[in-house]
Amino acid sequence: MGPQGTFSDEAAQKVRNTGVGVTYTSTFVEALVRVSEDPESVAVVPVENSVAGTVAQVQDSLVRYDLLILGEINLPIEYALLANAELEQVKLYFSHPQALEQSSGFISKNLGKAQNQFTRSNVDSGIQFLEAVDSEPEPVAAIVPLSFADRYQKWKCASAIQDYQNNTTRFLVVRSRQANEQLDFSRKKTSLLVEFQEDRSGLLYHLLSVFNLFQINLCRLESRPAKDTPWAYVFYVDFYNTAETEACLDVIRVSKFRYKVIGSYDLIK
């Protein structure tokens, strides 16, 4: 997601090869739709934040557009505040919804009486702030990435305003799924979508008991609404691969569970 300088852009630069271009989109879903239509491209999108949780639209779109995870990037998230006046004078501030959620403590304490205006990205917050400062000399502020704020020291009034200093976002590198895809379970992690073929008591316990049987460690388990049946749910499961991964999946397959491997991948540093 653009413009240049967003956290998504920073993550994308970690996997960009020399001579390969980067195309920016206005939403995460747009990036996933475009990569689903172009088998020669990959998308870099956030899927989970250590404070705010899962980016639901990305998680659901991985399945909807039949995408495959190639790798994972963990990126520290640091926010700063730009302002052209004392904070008690600020009447309006710009922020992306996720930035506001992850900095809610600071904002409630320092800008509780100001009106928020949501933006398309964290960098867009900074751009709208600069445009407002140029056009109208009214007290305004913006939550922006620290790297953006460092370029505008004149307006930078606070750093590290995120609620938790270890705030981290998981980004996924994904591409369209190919025919007869061969998965490599020697990679660090695997992600699954699991659907139940019946509704009865003990289903989740049964699923978890299979992983326990093979001593496979889950690192994420989350339910999401099934899109085709009201009040039915699917599960997203991330786990660490072992030599028993394929045997575990074989047992799940014959245990009245439907599953789809969304990817088997390593951490990209």
What are 57's two structure tokens? 């639209």
Q: Domain locations in the chain?
A: 1-77+162-179, 80-148, 182-269
- Residue 257 phi/psi, 5° resolution? -120, 140
Q: Which of 94, 88, 81, 85 is nearest to 137 (CA)?
A: 85
Tell me what pLDDT residue 18 has: 64
**Phi-psi sector, 188: left (phi>0), alpha (psi -120 to 50), beta:** alpha
Express each pLDDT in 200-256 by its tens digit: 888 899 999 999 999 999 999 999 998 888 888 899 999 999 999 999 999 999 888
Write down the CATH superfamily of domain 80-148. Periplasmic binding protein-like II (3.40.190.10)
Instruction: Quote the pTM value.
Output: 0.89
Q: Which fold is adopted by the domain 182-269?
A: Alpha-Beta Plaits (3.30.70)
CATH number of the domain at 1-77+162-179, please? 3.40.190.10
Tell me what pLDDT residue 105 has: 95
Q: One fold for both 1-77+162-179 and 182-269? A: no
pLDDT at 2 over 80: no
Express each pLDDT in 132-184 by its tens digit: 999 877 999 999 999 999 999 999 999 999 999 999 999 999 999 998 889 99
What are 119's two structure tokens? 């933006």
Measured CA to CA, the distance from residue 55 to residue 254 in angstroms comes to: 31
Query: Rounded mean pLDDT of 110-114?
Result: 94
